[in-house]
Every structure is written in structure tokens, then in C-alpha cells.
A and B are shown apart, each in its own frame.
Chain A
Amino acid sequence: MIQFSSVSKRYPGGHEALRGVTLEIAGGEMVAVTGHSGAGKSTLLKLAAGIERASNGTVVVNGQNLGALGETALAILRRRVGFIFQDHKLLYDRSCHDNVALPLRIAGFGREEAGKRVRAALDKVGLLDRERANPVALSGGEQQRLCIARAIVNRPSILIADEPTGNLDADYARAIVDLFVSFNQVGVTVLLSTHDEASIARLGCRRVALQNGAVGA
């Protein structure tokens, strides 16, 4: 489902975030990427989601070589990959409903179909009663779940989450982890990064350790 072959990523300015990473994630698999901050976890996830491009090597997602895709094709691919951002990337000038509806609006869904999907996604993360609220009014954990709702509203086959349990206390973190486990159980490929041992244990999945931009033992 996701294949990295000798992938390197060098940012303008010379910082090398990834060095020769080779990695294969099968369809329906769940993988946790671990490592210290600065180890390259975020970069790896962004490359897999088509949010950034590799400097060297090839990234293949869903059978498509991302390096060969133009900007428009890459944008279309991003619609089929749900991404949960570490900093949420929510829009505070509109309701929770409209935040979750954004990917559907971009894809050109009709109002009725979009409304159904948005409510289903909000229900899944337990935020259906906050549909009309502004995200500002939500707690950190709720904002995280809103971000998850936006990521799953397009019913992607791949879900990628960058530190989804990052700043949450243990109870909230467990609830979020359970959500990902449930998505994985219905066949969604899940790739997430974390440095929280408790979460990894609860996920019970393969772990890939990154060290200074390379895959360790």
C-alpha cells in the first residue's frame, strides 16, 4: 500500500530529515513510527501523504509513484489519504460541521450527501452534538477528534496521523488509540507516529523506529 525505496529528504538550507529510508506497509496493516523529536517522523508521514516530495528515492502509494505525479494529480491523491495534523489545522472561522465538510466540498459533493457523511464522521468520533459549535470552543482532545473526523469523511483507505496522542492525558489518549484500532479493524491502513510507549502497547502493532532520519533496529 505504501512503499518507500531509499527515500531521502533534504530541506532547503541543507537539513537532511530522512536518509535512505526503505519501508513497506501492506494494505490493512497498522504501523507506528517512533523516535525522538527531530528523528524524521513527521517528514516520513508527509511524504507518504503527498504533502511533501522526496528529494531522492521513490515513494509509491496505492500503486502510484508520487514522484511522477504532477501537482494536480498529487492533490487528487491527497483526497484519498486521511491526514491528522499534529497542529490540527482547523479553521476557526467556521463551525465543526463546515470544518469536516471541507474535503467533501473540494471534491464536489452535493449538500445532502455531504451532510450525511459529515454527521456520520462526527458521530464516529463522538462530536455529533457539537456540530454547530466553533472549534475554538472545543477542548484539545475534542479538537484532535474533530481533525480525525475531517480525515475520515472522504472514507480514505489510508489514514495517517502525526502524534495523535501528543498533548493528551492518558484517558483521552486511550480513546484516540482505540479509534485508530477500530478503523484498522475495518480494513483501513493506518500509519501513525508517537513517542508514547503506552499508546504503542495498546495499538499492538508493528513499530518502525527512526533515528536521525534512518530506520533503526
Chain B
Amino acid sequence: MTWLRLHLHALGEALRRLASQPVASALSILVLAVAIALPLVAAVALRSVGAATAHLDTDPHVNVYLALDASDDDVKRIGQALRNHPDAASVRFIPREQALAELKSTTHLAELLDTLDRNPLPHAYTVRVRTTDAPRIAKLREDWSALPKVDQVLADFEWSERLGRWVRFGDRALLGAWLLLGAAVALIVAHLIRLQVLTHREEIEVSQLVGATAADVRRPFLYHGLLQGLFAGAVALAAAGGVAAWASYELRALTPSYATELKVVFLPLMDSLAVALMAGGLGFLGAWSAVSRELRHFARPG
């Protein structure tokens, strides 16, 4: 009961201190919120890119184009050879007629293609392979190029690997930003609480003289730092949400020219809560370091 009362009292004291200087408190919270909102916006952007590319077929596959003069027997024989290869997971045949029809329907080249007197496209196989290992892919291409009536073998998935690397690069850059700006939040709170501690110096001294423990002295300052962090986290989430909504409007206008809908993906609720709690925790840490330095110590003489 006493324990609860001490905490309620400290919380009330912290709120009173925040409210007693409304402009200063609001500015402090805004500064912290901006520091938190920056990596938050970057995280939302990265998640959105991830979501937009998630539907892309990034499975490694190899396209085998047959010679234009390949006969139906050649098609069967080559298909058999591909299916029998240990690294082939699945094999799909794309007849030249289907390839032409797809080309006509997905591009604006229909009229141009209609002027041609014959189909310029070859039969093709799309093979999903079990490996992304470069030497084995090279071996595959070599093997399959050597088959009679095979014109070209293209392993066209380096771009997906590259995309994966870019996403990982983005993740790392984001983690760095989180760490740096997290440190900034703790340092800013430490500075703000240090100023608070200085204005309450006499109260701290007298409190300790009449029996306050170090924990008693720290408590209201810790709540103060915690609240500043939590409020800043909440404001940052709201600001990042606003930016996301604003950007989302532009993105939606882009959608018709692409096959799938593009949209901004905000952080899920649990992640958002975690951001706010983390901000509160950093505020707490900053406050702790600031108060501890100003405490009078009753240590035994050495």
C-alpha cells in the first residue's frame, strides 16, 4: 500500500512538473518525437518496398529457348532431358504461340507484331532450379546449351539476389539509424532531466537529510523521463502515420500502371507499442543517469 502510494505520488509529481512548464515540456517532447519519427518513417518505407516486391517471383529459374526450327520431337526430347536433370525442381513448357499471345497482350506491340509474317519467338522451357549456387548454375547452363536444338539458356534471377541484398542493406542502415537516434533520445532526456535536477537541487538535499533514500529521490525524475519518452513515442507514431497517409495517396495514383496494388505498410500494432515503450525506456535510462550524478552520497569514508 505504501509502495503503491510512493509510486502514485512520484507519478503525480512528474505530471505536475510536466504541466508546470507546458511550453518547455511540449518542445522537449517534440524534439524527442522528431528523433524517433525519422527512423520510424524509414522503417515504414522499407516495409512498403518489401510488401511491393513480395509478390514478385524471386524463385531461381532458368529459361531455355529452343531453336526456331526445333521440331515437336526435339521439344519432347529436350523437355525429357530437362526433367531428368537432378537440379530441376519443375519444368514448364511455353509454346511459341502462347509466348506471342502473351507479348501482344502485355505490351503495346500488338500492331507491330501483326505486321510480321511469322512468329519470331521460339518455344521455351522455364525451369525452376533447386540451387542458387553460381558454379552449379553455370554447369547447368553449359549442360543445357549443349543439347541439340537449344538456342539459348538464360539464368535470369541475379536481379532477385540483388534486390535481396538491397533490402538487407536497407535493414542494416535502418538498424544503424535506430541505434543512433535511440542514443540521441537517451542523451536528450538525460540533458533535460539534468536541468530539472538542478532546479530541484535544494529539495533533493533536504529530502535526503530528512530520510529520503536514493530511490525516493530518483523516483519522480524517472517517471518524468519515462513519461517524456512515452509521449514522444506516441507523437512520433502519429507523425509517421501522417507521413505514411500522405505518401500513400501518391503511391495509390501510381498503382494502375503496375499489376498489383502498391500501398504504404505501417508498423503492426505490437511493433508500434514496442516503439513507444522503447522510447519510454530510453527516457527512463536518460533520467537515471542524470539523477544519479546529482545525488548526495552517504558512503562510508574510505
Give A contacts to B, CB under 8 Å.
10, 50-53, 55, 67, 71-72, 74-79, 83, 85, 89-91, 93, 102-103, 105-110, 150, 154
Known: A78-B211, A91-B203. A105 touches B301 (CB 8 A): no
Q: Let me know if A78 and B209 touch, CB within 8 A.
A: yes
Q: Let me know if A110 and B5 touch, CB within 8 A.
A: yes
Known: A75-B212, A91-B203. A108 touches B2 (CB 8 A): yes
Q: Shortest Cβ distance from A170 into chain B, in angstroms?
A: 29
Question: Told that A83-B209, A91-B206, A106-B212 touch, could you supply 12 new A-B pairs with CB distance under 8 A?
Answer: A52-B298, A53-B298, A74-B298, A75-B208, A75-B213, A78-B209, A89-B205, A102-B206, A102-B210, A103-B211, A106-B211, A150-B210
Chain B: interface size category:
20 to 34
Cβ-based interface call for B293 (8 A): no
Q: Shortest Cβ distance from B196 into chain A, in angstroms?
A: 13
Q: Let me know if A108 and B300 touch, CB within 8 A.
A: no
Known: A53-B298, A106-B216. A76 touches B209 (CB 8 A): no
Q: Let me know if B298 and A89 touch, CB within 8 A.
A: no
Q: Let me know if A103 and B210 touch, CB within 8 A.
A: yes
Q: Shortest Cβ distance from A117 into chain B, in angstroms?
A: 14
Task: For the complex, give the distance between the alpha carbons of A150 and B6 in Å.
Answer: 19
Task: For the complex, give the distance between the alpha carbons of A52 and B216 in Å.
Answer: 19
Chain A residues with CB under 8 A of B6: 108
Give B contacts to A, CB under 8 Å.
2-3, 5-6, 9, 202-203, 205-216, 297-301
Q: Shortest Cβ distance from B263 into chain A, in angstroms?
A: 53
Chain A residue nearest in CB terms to B203:
A91
Q: Let me know if A71 and B214 touch, CB within 8 A.
A: yes
Q: Let me know if B3 and A108 touch, CB within 8 A.
A: yes
Q: Let me know if A71 and B211 touch, CB within 8 A.
A: no
Task: For the complex, give the distance between the alpha carbons of A108 and B216 in Å.
Answer: 10
Chain B residue nearest in CB terms to A9:
B301
Listed A/B pairs (17) with beta-carbon separation below 8 Å: A52-B298, A53-B299, A53-B301, A55-B301, A67-B300, A71-B297, A75-B214, A76-B213, A78-B209, A79-B211, A91-B202, A102-B206, A102-B207, A105-B9, A106-B207, A108-B3, A108-B5
B299 in complex: contacting residue of A10, A71, A76, A106, CB < 8 Å: A71
Chain B residue nearest in CB terms to A107:
B211
- Tally of A-B Cβ pairs under 8 angstroms: 68
Chain B residues with CB under 8 A of A89: 205-206, 209
Chain B residues with CB under 8 A of A90: 206
Chain A residues with CB under 8 A of B297: 71
Chain B residue nearest in CB terms to A46:
B209
Task: For the complex, give the distance between the alpha carbons of A93 and B16 in Å.
Answer: 14
B210 in complex: contacting residue of A10, A71, A79, CB < 8 Å: A79
Q: Shortest Cβ distance from B230 into chain A, in angstroms?
A: 25
Task: For the complex, give the distance between the alpha carbons of A71 and B215 in Å.
Answer: 11
Q: Let me know if A72 and B213 touch, CB within 8 A.
A: yes
Chain A residue nearest in CB terms to B7:
A108
Task: For the complex, give the distance between the alpha carbons of A196 and B2 in Å.
Answer: 43
Chain A residues with CB under 8 A of B3: 108
Task: For the complex, give the distance between the alpha carbons of A10 and B210 in Å.
Answer: 23
Q: Shortest Cβ distance from A81 into chain B, in angstroms?
A: 8
Task: For the complex, give the distance between the alpha carbons of A110 and B5 in Å.
Answer: 7
Known: A72-B214, A106-B216, A108-B6. A51 touches B209 (CB 8 A): yes
Chain B residues with CB under 8 A of A71: 213-214, 297-299
Q: Let me know if B214 and A85 touch, CB within 8 A.
A: no
Q: Let me know if A75 and B206 touch, CB within 8 A.
A: no
Task: For the complex, give the distance between the alpha carbons of A110 and B203 in Å.
Answer: 20
Chain A residue nearest in CB terms to B6:
A108
Chain B residues with CB under 8 A of A75: 208, 211-214, 216, 298
Task: For the complex, give the distance between the alpha carbons of A50 and B211 in Å.
Answer: 10
Chain A residue nearest in CB terms to B5:
A108
Chain B residues with CB under 8 A of A83: 209-210
Task: For the complex, give the distance between the alpha carbons of A83 and B207 in Å.
Answer: 12
Chain B residues with CB under 8 A of A51: 209, 298
Task: For the complex, give the distance between the alpha carbons of A154 and B212 in Å.
Answer: 13
Q: Shortest Cβ distance from A115 into chain B, in angstroms?
A: 14
Task: For the complex, give the distance between the alpha carbons of A169 and B203 in Å.
Answer: 29
Chain B residues with CB under 8 A of A150: 210
Which of A10, A72, A74, A106: most chain B CB closer than 10 A?
Answer: A106
